[in-house]
Each structure stands twice: as C-alpha cells, then as structure tokens.
Chain A
Amino acid sequence: MKYSFSSIMMVNHPFRPLALAGSTADSAEIITLMKAYGTLLEAASRTEPGKPVTGVVNLFTLGWMNGARGKMAVASFMKLQPDGVLPAVLRAHNGSFIQAFKELMTQQKLVLLPVSLSQFPLTAYTLKGAAKEDLKRTSAIWKELFGTLPLSIWLPRGAYTPGIDELLLQEGCQFVFLPHDAFPLEEQEGVQWVSPRGLKLIPYRKDHQESGTTGVTLFSLAGQSARRHWEDIQKRQVSSSDRSSAKRVIHFPLVYENMNEGHTLITAEELHRCDPIIHLKEEWDEKYALAISEAAGVLDLEWAYCIYAAVHGLKEELKSAIDSLRYLLDGAHKEFPDLDYAHQRMRLHYGVTLQSKQFVGGVERMEGAVLLLSWEYPPNIVGGMARHVHGLAEALVASGREVIVLTSSHHESAEYECVNGVHIYRSGPLHKGEQDFLKQTSDLNLCLFQKAMELMHKHDIALIHTHDWLTGDAAILLAEQKQLPLISTIHATEHGRNNGLHNELQHAIASKEKKLIEASDTVIVCSQPMKEELRVYYEGSGKDIYVVPNGVEFEESVSGLTRFRSMEPFIFSIGRMVFEKGFQTFFEMNLKNLKKENIQFIIAGKGPLLETWREEVKKRGLEDTIHFVGYVSDEERRALFQSCKAAVFPSLYEPFGIVALEAMAFRKPVIAAATGGLKSFVLHKQTGLLFEPGNAEDLSEKIAAVLDQPGYANELGLNGHEMAKELYSWAHISAQTEKIYDQTVFIKKMEGVRT
C-alpha cells in the first residue's frame, strides 16, 4: 500500500505485557506488533526526504521494545525472519526501533509522535490534575526514549477543550492534530488555525480506506489548507515564530472524534470501569513516592498502565497491574518497599524508568572521590566480595567518578597500582600469621585506617563505602575522624551465615556488624530478605537501607564438591518452605515416563512447612527421589546451580523471583510456574519453559522436554544467560549505587548546615 504525504499512520496495537511475556518470536502477538511497526518503518524509509510520513505510536509498546525483554523479542524475530525490509533496517540499527526512528526523523522522512500515555480522553478524567500529569508523563517518557521533547502529543479520541493547548505547550509541543468536526473547513479554505494560546491546530479525519491486516489505523489531514499548512510546517522545521501566513485564531468549547455525528466521547460504563482505577492515585502521595525514591517512577507508571488497561478493557492485564501497584504501595506504606521488584517492573515491563524529579533535581552530584574499603580485591580473591567491589569500582570509574580502593596487602600485588582507572592501595595486616581471626582483623583495620588518613592528604575524598564488618572498624574511625558520610554494604550477616549465633566468636562478629550498621549513614543490602534480616536482627529499623541487587555472578565457576555430589544428576529448586512457593507440586509429578530414570530433585530452603513436606515425602515413599535438604550456604547454592540439569520454580505467588535469574546466570534451563515476576523474564521456549502453576502434569511434561533434549535445554540456558546479563549489568548496579552516594552526601551536608 502506498502512503501519501498527508497520511497519518497510527500504530496503536493494544499493549498487553502478559500476552507478550509468554510469547515467542512466532506467536501472533509478536508478529502483529512487528508487522505494524514494520509497515511504519517501511513507509518512512521509502518516502522522499522532506516529505515525511507521520506516525503515531503507543509509548508503552515502544518502551517495552526498548526494555530487556523487548530487545530480546526483536532479536529472535530477526533471527526467525531474516529477509525483508524490516529486519534489514533493524539490523542496521542494532535491533533498536528507537534508533531506526531517530535516524528517519533526522532525515526528515518521519514525524513521530506519541499518544498520551494512558490513552484516556483528557477531558474525561474525574480527578483533578490527572490530565496534566498524563501529558507530563508522556513527554517525560518520550524524552527518556528519544532525548528530545515530542513535537506533539496525540489526544485520545481527539478529545480537546480549551486549556489543553496550554498543557501541551508546557510540554514543549508545537502543534496538535484535532478532529475536523471543530473546524468550518468548507468556509475557510487556506487558513492556518491556531489556538488562542498560540498552539497550531491541524484538522484530521479518520480514513475509510481499509488499513487491512497491517495493524495500522490511517488518518489523513482534512482539507487542502491543512495539507499545505503541514507542508509548510515541515519546510520550516516547525518554527513557531512565523506569523506571516493567514492565521486564524479559533476557540471552541469542546471537540472529539465524530462529535457532530452524535457519537458519545465516552460511555458511563467506561467511566465506571475506569473511575475506581483513576482514584487509586489518591492512595499515595509524595511521601510514599519518597519511600521508594530510587524507583518512585514505577508507582506512576503502574498507575498510568492501570488506566490504560481499564480504558481498553484488558481485564487480566488490569488485575495484574493493580496487584503490582498494591504490592508496591503496601511496601512503601510500611517503609519496606520491594525495590528489586520495582526496578524489574520498570526494566522488563515498561523499558523506561521515569525517574522522579525529586530525586534527580533535588540532589546534586557529589564532588570528590569514593573510598572503597574491602577485605579482598583482585587478584586476591577469597569469596564473592572481591568480584563485587571490583565490578562496582570499575563501573563507577566508567561513569566518571574517582575511585580509590583500599584493601589488604597481597603477596603478588603492588602496594599501589592504578588498574582501569581505579586507584588501588594495599596495606596490612602486620601479622599475617596471627591465629586469632578477630585479632588479625583488628590489625588489618588499624593498618587501613592509617593508610587512609595518609590518602586523605592526597585525594579529595567525599565518602567512605565499606563492604561487610571486616573493614568496618577502619571505616567507622575514618568517618568519625574526618566527618565523612559512611555507607556500608552488608553482603551477608553472621546471623544469616550461621542460622543464628552459637558461639563467642559469632557473637563478637555480630556485635561488630551491629556497630557498623549503627555508625553508617546509609546501608546497602543485596536483597529484600537481607533488608528484613537487618531490621529484625540488627535493629536497623531506623536506618536508610537500600536494596541494590547484587550483580549476578557470571564467569565464576565454583567447585562442585559438595555434600550433594552423590545425588547427580538432579533438578534443583530453592525457596522458603511456605505454601505459596508451590513445592507441593513436586509430589504429584508423573515421573514414570522420564527417560532419565535416576533423576533426583533437590529442594533447598528453610521454613515452616519443611518438616511437613519431609514427612509427606516419606509417606509417599519418594525418599530416593525428592530431597528437602533445608538450609544451604551461598557456596553450596552456587554449586547446586552449577551442577543441576535444570532449575524449577513452582511458585503459586512470586512477586519477583530473582533466584530464577540466578539460575539463568549459570546457563541452566529454567522451568517456572507462569506467575507474576517469573513470567516476566522466563519467556516460554526462549529463556525457559513455563507451566501452569500447581499443575504437576504440565510440570512433568516440561521437565521431560528439558531432560530428553539436552541441545534444547542448552539453548534455553544460553538465552536465559543473555537476559540475566542484560538485567544485572554492573553499569546498572553502579548507577543505582551512585544515586545512593549522592543522596547520602546531600543529606550529610544538610545535617552539617543544621548543627
């Protein structure tokens, strides 16, 4: 089909993240999406420069395609259909629609604008301020995706009333398309319409031309003058200062599509459906947003999507989005928000972050260097911390921070070196042979303290960031001495490592941990359970505790020599022993048809149902197959992931499911119940397999599929690995950490002003 210069192509296929979550490159949902966007891209690529095609797009969809999961879907689509214009254009732009659109816009082949985000008619909101916020959010997301303000925003159902021109101008818009119903077109040939506030108004009408199966709705400019005017705008690159042509200021009280044919703008039923959703917004205010300030945008995004789903009648999607919003609000309300979940929703579901202004605007970027204290640093690697600090330090340097790492001395390494921009100083302990572990640690801390005091003369240090209690004393002393902000990352606690405190040494370590938490201005932990642990066992309730998910460890190969070695081959699962984790599904599995007869199931984790389930295993005579092994250490967990044949997560309810990502990091095929968080990154037949929650028959089939086709299992594992990598890159973690730095320094400064 040939699209003329005056066509407006609307690509507004309903955005259904749940349907997309379970889709593969060859499923209808993805194919429709690609076809629609492909039609727009092709039309724009074929047009002459200076005679652009106009495209109107759904920002939710565009955001999704820009997110981790969307990128993956686009990539596998290109693999599946390597020929044609669309894959070629996409390949030239790294698989990114945004990049492709950007280039076409620069070449003046495309004018692209978004529909206002929630797609709710702006004159019909029953909440004050909602229309304005909708437009604000739309332009903020546009800016995040394209780096510029939108030229215009498409009004849902064409609904316009005076004042909306002002709201659009505030978002930097230069013109707006309005239904031709409002304009006396036959009477006023050759006139350029403008609102009393100076916003250009361009009349459009819906085309009766069949748009076919392309997923594109066609509109066209109404009247010769509109076409001429449009051409004019294009030529002048939309300069708003021009007043030479025949402008006619026009005011009308209300317009929407098909108004003059007697159609309604919105029905009472639609309003009833949307109204309670719109008023959800009244349940939170800035205080709540501040409680999850790192991801404050997610509340707004979820809400905006709830309205979108309500107005489009997407029942299942609406329910899921409301659940998600409620979950986040509950957390924020208890000052206990699940930030992992919030970040994941933004990165996977929406592909944008909609960073709240309070955070970006209110906190200035700190000046000076970060002093990282760590017990170990490569090449001295004992546990996971060295890798963590190393990853963080280099990512911080990459984002332009000055980073100094202070660590214990190591026989193979210099006292000072600069590696990839990171200044590394090594010092102490003096008595390496000391048998008393605590004493040796104190020795190290004193050495680090002295070295740091020396470094303070050389470097302008803005804050101290220590990792775990091992370097805690030095950090506390330094912060006190130099009045510097102290941030500590607690990777693990003594209480957690030992499942309680059982001897004097453990008590002594725990008390050091408490002291460190007490003295820190801000505490960072790697997971939500860890945060709870600090609050409960470490009296950390009055502290600012942030969750920054640990980078999933990728290259590390761990020793498989654990107590579980003899059980191989096995399938692994881990989680709290509670009903909603769904481990009871294992009991009903039909294992007889498995080709691999000796397969074992290892299920790790503690919890109230552990004994009940162990009993159940005995009762059913499954002792030789299913093993509830209870608590496993970090090292054991990694070894189990490394040597399992597949990882199964049968949760009935799972808001996040980071543990499945961990399995993916180990390149293991993941079989997960199709619930909430799991569904969002376990993409069926791409990055894993999904089964119906609680359906043991379905689970058995999926297990058989993985065990019987090692090649396929391997492919799923590799794809999952790619996704985990995308989600938990060091750049992402360091960006989150930097925000915490800036905020801590900012608050500390304010304290200084007060006292």
Chain B
Amino acid sequence: MIEEIVRLKNENFSWEQIAATLSIPKQQAKQEWQYRLTEKAKRNVQNSLHTVLLSKERIYCKWHLDPFLLRAAFYCETPLNPDVLDLRIFDVTDIYFNGTNAHSMTCVKVNREDGFWIIKGLKSNRSYLCEIGYLTKNYSFWPILQSHPVHTSYEYSTDYILKAGEAEAFYQHSFNEPAWIEHPDCLQ
C-alpha cells in the first residue's frame, strides 16, 4: 500500500486522486505517507563508522549503531559479552583488505554505549581502517561496520617522491584508478 502511495505521490497525484486510485479514504493515504516520512527520518540516522585524522599520529573513530542492527547481529552470532564491543584498527597499506591480511591490528574494548574513541601512535604514510564488532562465543572477532580507509601524512615533505611515478601516470591517464586513498566524498 505505502509503496503505491509513494509512487503516485512522486508522480504528483493529488490526495484525492491517490485516494480514488487506491480506493481508500484520503485521510488514510495522508497518514500512511506521514508515517513513512517520520519513519524515514528516523531511519536516516544511519549506522556508520567514520574515521577522522586529528593529527599526524592520531585518529578519531566515531560510530553509530542502531540498537536494531546490534540485535540483528547478536541474533546471527551470539556475543561473548553483549555489553562489550571491539573497535579494531587495521593497517591496510597497499593491500586489498580481506579481514585476514592486515599488516597489523590494534584492538580496543569499548562499552556498548560508547560512540567514539581516539587511537594514538599511528605511523607515517600508512593506510588504516577501522571496524567495530564483538567477540563471539568462540572468541573470534565478528565485524558489524567498517569505516572508509584513511592515509596518514608523509613523515617528510620529500617523501612525495615515493608516489611521484604513480601521480605522474595518473595525471597523464586519469581514467585509471588512483593508486592512493582519496576523500570519501570523491567516490560518490
């Protein structure tokens, strides 16, 4: 029903026309529409895990986990402790990360109610990404959300030489994929 209303509304049908097409009272059509808007607004607060580089060696991780998503995760895999989550930061420099091939990993235990964490001690010129999840009954990490990757700055400005060849190649043939990590908005 609601899909029909949305479709007709998007085609600029008036409420009278929608009510007539679907043989329902006008008021009902409007209420359903209103309800959907509210629901959508609620749902819009997305589940997300976001990372921001605060400085050369600090990363800020921020997440929002809908209780519903957490319940669903717990349904799939029973947690060892439902009140403790794992925030993991992986060094994924120059690899296609598959969950098992990170160069290194650091784990932080966070409370279920927490929403952010700052991790210090990042190395220069490395790629990192974060995941939030938890340990299952058999002590294995079960991820729920993954962040986009970030790349820390060079140690010295002369380090640009390390990527100079790839940068030049991209400049000449920009249809290729860039060989580095870009701002997430650029990928949209």
Mask, B34-71, CB within 8 Å of A = 1, is 10011011001110101011111010101000000000
Interface segment out of the listed A108-116, A182-190, A568-576: A182-190
Of chain A, the residue at the smallest CB distance from B56 is A259
A-B contacts, 10 of them at CB < 8 A, read: A131-B183, A163-B184, A196-B174, A251-B160, A251-B170, A252-B153, A264-B55, A271-B62, A275-B62, A285-B44
Cβ of A542 < 8 Å from any Cβ of B? Answer: yes
Chain B residues, Cβ within 8 Å of A285: 40-41, 44
* Bound: A376/B156 CA distance, A: 78
Quick one: given A162-B180, A162-B182, A265-B53, are A542 and B14 in contact (CB under 8 Å)?
Answer: yes
- The contact size tier of chain A is 35 or more
Q: Closest B-chain residue to A275, C-beta based?
A: B62
B160:A184 contact, CB within 8 angstroms? yes
Other contacts beyond A249-B164, A283-B44: 18, CB < 8 A: A126-B52, A132-B185, A167-B183, A167-B185, A184-B157, A197-B171, A250-B167, A251-B163, A251-B180, A253-B180, A262-B55, A268-B54, A268-B118, A282-B44, A284-B41, A541-B30, A542-B30, A750-B11
- In the assembly, what is the distance between CA of A491 and CA of B30, in Å? 27
- Residue in B closest to A335 when the chains form the complex, CB atoms: B34
* Binary contact track B86-120/A, C-beta < 8 Å → 1, others 0: 00000000000000000000000000000010100
In the bound complex, what is the Cα–Cα distance between A626 and B160 (angstroms)? Answer: 78
Q: Which of A130, A264, A284 lies in contact with B185, CB distance below 8 A? A: A130
**Complex Cα–Cα for A751 and B151 (A):** 52
A693 close to chain B: CB less than 8 A: no
Residue pair B45, A282 in contact (C-beta under 8 Å):
yes
Contact pattern, A 324-359, Cβ under 8 Å of B = 1, otherwise 0:
000000000101000000000000000000000000
Main SS class of interface, B: mixed
Contact indicator per residue, chain B 133-171, by CB within 8 Å of chain A (1) or not (0): 000000000000000001111101111100110111011
B23 at the interface (CB under 8 A from A): no
Does B77 interact with chain A (Cβ within 8 Å)? no
Q: Are B55 and A253 in contact (CB under 8 A)?
A: no
Q: Determine whether the beta carbon of B167 is less than 8 Å from that of A253.
A: no
Question: Looking at the complex, which one of A124, A163, A264, A333 makes contact with B186 (CB distance below 8 Å)?
Answer: A163
Q: Which residues on B sit within 8 Å (CB–CB) of A126?
A: 50, 52, 62
B28 within 8 A of A: no
Measured CB to CB, the nearest residue on chain B to A518 is B16
Determine if A411 is an interface residue (Cβ-Cβ < 8 Å): no
Given A132-B188, A163-B183, A167-B186; A250-B160 close (CB under 8 Å): yes
Residues from chain B with Cβ under 8 Å of A701 in the complex: none
Residues of A within 8 A of B183 (CB): 122-123, 131, 161-164, 167
Pairwise interchain contact A131-B185, C-beta atoms closer than 8 A: yes
Contact A196 B178, beta carbon cutoff 8 Å:
yes
For residue B64, which residue of chain A has the nearest CB?
A279
| Docked CA distance A180–B46 (Å) | 37
- Assess the B182–A187 pair: CB atoms within 8 A: no
Query: In the complex the two chains form, what is the Cα distance from A333 to B52 in whole Å?
Result: 32
Q: How far is the CB of B182 from chain A (nearest CB, A)?
A: 3
Compute how far the CA of A694 lies from the CA of B56 in the bound complex, rounded to whole angstroms.
52
Interface residues of A in 220-266 (CB under 8 A from B): 249-255, 259-260, 262-266
* Chain A residues whose C-beta falls within 8 Å of the C-beta of B81 in the assembled complex: none
Are B171 and A264 closer than 8 Å at their CB atoms? no
Q: For window 111-164 of chain A, which residues contact chain B by CB distance below 8 Å?
A: 122-132, 161-164
Interface string of A307-329 (1 = CB under 8 A from B): 00000000000000000000000
B37's nearest neighbour on chain A, judged by CB, is: A287
**How many chain B residues touch A (Cβ–Cβ < 8 Å)?**
56
A49 interface residue, CB < 8 Å from B?
no
A264 touches B182 (CB 8 A): no
Complex CA gap A147/B183 in Å reads 29
B123 at the interface (CB under 8 A from A): no
In the bound complex, residues from chain B placing their C-beta under 8 Å from that of A266 are 52, 54
Are A267 and B11 interface neighbours, CB within 8 A? Answer: no
8 Å CB contact of B11 from A161, A250, A541, A754: A754
- Mask, B72-85, CB within 8 Å of A = 1, is 00000000000000
- Contact check, A164 vs B157: say whether CB atoms are below 8 A apart: no
Contact call A249/B167, Cβ cutoff below 8 A: yes
A166 at the interface (CB under 8 A from B): yes
Check if A747 is an interface residue, CB within 8 A of chain B. yes
Does B185 lie within 8 Å of A163, measured CB to CB? yes
- Contact between chains at B53 and A254 (CB < 8 Å): yes
State the 4 A-B residue pairs at the shortest beta-carbon distance, nearest first.
Answer: A163-B186, A163-B182, A163-B183, A253-B151
Could you say which of B11, B54, B188 has the most chain A C-beta atoms within 10 Å of its C-beta? B54
Please name all residues of chain A whose beta carbon is closer than 8 Å to the beta carbon of B50 when the two chains form the complex: 126-128
Q: Are A262 and B182 in contact (CB under 8 A)?
A: no
Q: Which residues of A contact B44 (CB under 8 A)?
A: 282-283, 285
> Least Cβ distance of B184 to chain A in Å?
6
Residues of B near A267 (CB, < 8 A) are 54
Q: Are A181 and B167 in contact (CB under 8 A)?
A: no
Contacts of A127 in B (CB 8 A): 50
Contact A254 B153 (CB under 8 A): yes
Contact pick for A265, options B48, B54, B157, B188, CB 8 Å: B54
A754 to B53, CA, bound (A): 52
In this assembly, does B22 line the interface, its C-beta being within 8 Å of a C-beta of chain A?
Answer: no
A366 located at the interface, meaning its Cβ lies under 8 Å from any Cβ of chain B in the complex: no
- B181 located at the interface, meaning its Cβ lies under 8 Å from any Cβ of chain A in the complex: yes
Most buried by B among A250, A283, A284: A250
CB contacts (< 8 Å) of A262 on chain B: these are 55-56
A residues near B152, Cβ cutoff 8 Å: 253-254
Known contacts being A128-B184, A196-B171, A250-B167, is A542 close to B15, with CB within 8 Å? yes
Judge whether B26 and A333 touch: CB under 8 Å.
no
Say if the beta carbon of A194 comes within 8 Å of chain B: yes
Chain B residues closer than 8 Å to A259, beta-carbon distance: 55-56, 153
Bound-state CA distance A333–B54 (Å) is 36
Closest residue of A by beta carbon distance from B40: A285
How far does the Cβ of A315 sit from chain B's closest Cβ, in whole Å?
22
Question: B52 to chain A: which residues have CB within 8 Å?
Answer: 123-126, 266, 271
**Closest chain B residue to A132, Cβ basis:** B185
The one of A252, A254, A283 in contact with B41, judged by C-beta atoms closer than 8 angstroms, is A283
Distance (Å) between the CB of A204 and the closest chain B CB? 14
A254 and B185 in contact, given A162-B178, A266-B54, A542-B14 (Cβ under 8 angstroms): no
A265 touches B185 (CB 8 A): no
Q: How far is the CA of A163 from the CA of B159 in the complex (A)?
A: 19
Q: A124-B52, A132-B188 are in contact. Are A253 and B170 (CB under 8 A)?
A: no
Q: Min CB distance, B16 to chain A, in Å?
A: 6
Given A183-B157, A259-B56, A263-B55, check contact A196 B170 (CB 8 Å).
Answer: yes
Name which residue of chain B comes closest to A203, CB basis: B157
A50 located at the interface, meaning its Cβ lies under 8 Å from any Cβ of chain B in the complex? no
Report the bound CA distance from A271 to B185 in whole Å.
19
A582 within 8 A of B: no
Contacts of A254 in B (CB 8 A): 53, 150-153
A183 to B58, CA, bound (A): 22
Contacts of B171 in A (CB 8 A): 194, 196-198, 249
- A253 adjacent to B125 (CB under 8 Å): yes
Write out, one digit per residue, whether chain A residues 175-210 have a CB within 8 A of any chain B CB (1) or not (0).
000000111110100000010111000000000000
Question: Which of A250, A253, A264 is most buried by chain B, counting CB atoms within 10 A of its CB?
Answer: A253
Contact residues in A for B58 (Cβ distance below 8 Å): 264
Chain A residue with minimal CB distance to B127? Answer: A253
List residues 527-569 of chain A with CB under 8 A from any CB of chain B: 541-542
A156 and B96 CA atoms in complex are apart in Å by 32
Most buried by A among B168, B181, B182: B182
Tell me the bound Cα distance from A161 to B183 in angstroms. Answer: 6
Tell me, in angstroms, the Cα distance from A194 to B160 when the chains sit together: 13
A255 in complex: contacting residue of B38, B62, B153, CB < 8 Å: B153
Which residue from chain A places its CB closest to the CB of B126 in the assembled complex? A253
Complexed CA–CA distance, A130 and B183 (Å): 11
Known contacts A271-B52, A284-B41, A754-B11, A251 near B167 by CB under 8 Å: yes
Bound CA–CA A261/B156 (angstroms) = 12
Is B185 a contact partner of A249 (Cβ separation < 8 A)? no
